[in-house]
Amino acid sequence: MGEIMNHQILGSTSEFLRRSHKHMINGTWTDNQAEAFRDVIDPATGDLLTKIQIAGQAEVDAAVKHARAAFEGGAWSGISAAERGRIMWRWADLLEAKLDVITELEVLDNGMPVAVAQGFIGYGISWIRYFAGMADKIADKNLSGTISSRAAPFHSYTSRQPIGVAGMIIPWNGPFGIFLIKTAPALAAGCSCIVKPAEDTPLTALILAETALEAGIPAGVLNVLTGDGSTGALIAGHPGIDKISFTGSTDTGKKIVQTCANDLKRVTLELGGKSPCIVFDDADLDLAIPAAAMAIFSNSGQVCFAGSRLFVHERVYDDVVQGIADFSKNLQVGNGFDPNTALGPLISQKQLDRVNGYVEQAVKAGLDVVMGASKPSGKGFFASPAVVNRIDPSQPIAREEVFGPVLAAFPFSDTETLIRNANDTRYGLGAGIFSSNIDRVHGVASALEAGNVWVNHYGGMHPGLPFGGFKESGWGRELGEDGYLAYTEQKTVSIKLNPLS
């Protein structure tokens, strides 16, 4: 491996990459039965980093068998919530001790700049600690009063129990964090997990699995199968799995729902978006311009809640769009290890072709496309940021999720039309409002069809704030108490008592 962009890769990172990677099943690194490998590519250079194995039916069956046995054996599900929490804290501490290696692997695997990787990894570790402290604080409800009378008393209550074995299917845009947004609440609740990282970014999942074992999470409780969509489909279809939690594209989410319909598995989905970011003429523009720019350009636009549609009040439209275009010219596009890099590469040639296709189509259609900083030459999958100005809302680039650093900008002059246009999408994940008028902020926040509304800032995933989508952006919520409850089943117990005689 050696030196990249004057960045000397750590010896332990190189050593990890040289390993022959296997699946983590029942606490043991396990080889695939069939020979099926996939290259893992550094998106900044196009170079081969290492290879992973593609799990098939035999590996999924083995992982399910051991995850179920671990769940039913009770070494994790049967201990107290406080004890699970203590072990999870140890997991978080051990991960923190490996931060340098994890960050390097995330940058090599995904391409994101070091500072972005550190942010995502920090979020992930904070989620472990948040959920570690939650499981012993969920109070069951005593409902006796709802059905009892003096003549016919009952003791009735609800209780929560872990859902069982959960399958987690992870995308490539936030590999470490999204692994934890799902496994931290599931483990806190006492579930066993089978995690499939994305085929493009499988590496930090392997570190997470081995570190969990080191921390004392028992064998079989946290299994990791590397593989592609075929492995994901086998997990979604396996009758021994009780719940699927998926983050990824809306199209794949729909396929997973169809598969899970066979046995009515519980399903949580966090899918795509075409999120509006709205700037009113009373906004603090010094704050709004960089925030709206990074709402779309952060992680090179490969963020499910990216603010990819910008609505700006006509009175300040030209200033704001010009401000964002100027901002985008100063965002250095390059290798994530270069400390001056603001935007890393896209994940793959396929993704780059897709994003370029949208921009070329917009140029061909005669739209006003303002390109930002130029991209480096070489084999990396780099894309320049772009702003499409005064775009007709019917254009594909204004409606479809591009998943790249491309912003569609629209002027508006009245709030009613603004809300109608902002909601005119099949998605409903995020939304941003920049305004100093508190009445306007509350009114617009309430009218927007989005699971998450950020006001005078954009994005961020605090563990205490539930996250998820309206409409075709998903089902259910992650983080917060809802994120924990999603890995439990509710049981109602009603005990008939004898009246006092």
Which of 54, 422 has the CB closer to ligand ADP? Answer: 54
What are residue 490's DSSP bridge partners? 160
In the bound state with ligand ADP, the residue whose beta carbon lies nearer, of 213 and 233, is 233
Extract the tokens encoding 152.
Answer: 């016919």
Residue 196 found at the interface with ligand ADP (CB under 6 A): yes
Using CB under 6 A, pick the residue from 199, 270, 449, 478 that binds ligand ADP: 199
Nearest CA to 369 out of 328, 396, 408, 317 is that of 408
Residue type, 434: F
Q: In terms of C-beta distances under 8 Å and separation of at least 24 residues, what long-range contacts does 256-263 make, across chains too?
A: 256/169, 256/232, 259/233, 260/236, 262/237, 263/239
Number of residues lying near ligand ADP (CB under 6 A): 16
CB closer to ligand ADP out of 45 and 231 = 231
Residue 214, CA distances (Å) to 90, 375, 423 in order: 9, 42, 47
- From residue 397 to residue 436, the character string flagging contacts with ligand ADP as x (rule: CB under 6 A) and all else as - is ----------------------------------------
Q: How far is the CB of 8 from ligand ADP (least distance, A)?
A: 31
Q: How many whole angstroms separate alpha carbon 322 and alpha carbon 214?
A: 52
Label the pairing between strands 309-313 and 276-279. Answer: parallel
Q: Which residue is closest to ligand ADP by CB?
A: 232
Other CB atoms within a 10 A radius of the CB of residue 317 amount to 21
Q: For residues 132 and 256, which CB has a smaller minimum distance to ligand ADP in the complex?
A: 256
Shortest reach from residue 261's CB to ligand ADP, in Å: 13
232-261 positions binding ligand ADP, by CB under 6 A: 232-233, 236, 248-249, 252, 255-256
| H or E, element range at 279 | strand 276-279
* Of the residues 153, 229, 376, 466, which one makes contact with ligand ADP according to CB under 6 A: 229
How far apart CA 434 and CA 316 sit, in angstroms, is 12
The answer to whether 481 is a known catalytic residue is no
The structure tokens listed for 267 are 């399903």
Contact between 198 and ligand ADP (CB under 6 A)? yes
199 vs 449 by CB, closer to ligand ADP: 199
Q: What is the 3-state secondary structure (H, E, C) of 91-105?
A: HHHHHHHCHHHHHHH
- Binders of ligand ADP among residues 126 to 185 (CB under 6 A) are 169-171
Q: Which listed residue (304, 401, 449, 478) is catalytic?
A: 304
* Residue 277 bears catalytic tag: no
Residues 6+ away with beta carbon under 8 Å from 377: none
> Among residues 259 and 488, whose Cβ is nearest to ligand ADP?
259
**Shortest Cβ 10–ligand ADP spacing (Å):** 27
* Minimum CB–partner distance for residue 428 and ligand ADP (Å): 18
Active-site annotation holder among 59, 106, 270, 478: 270
Three-class DSSP category at 489:
strand
**Which residues are identified as catalytic?**
270, 304
Q: Which residues bind ligand ADP (CB under 6 A)?
A: 169-171, 196, 198-199, 228-229, 232-233, 236, 248-249, 252, 255-256
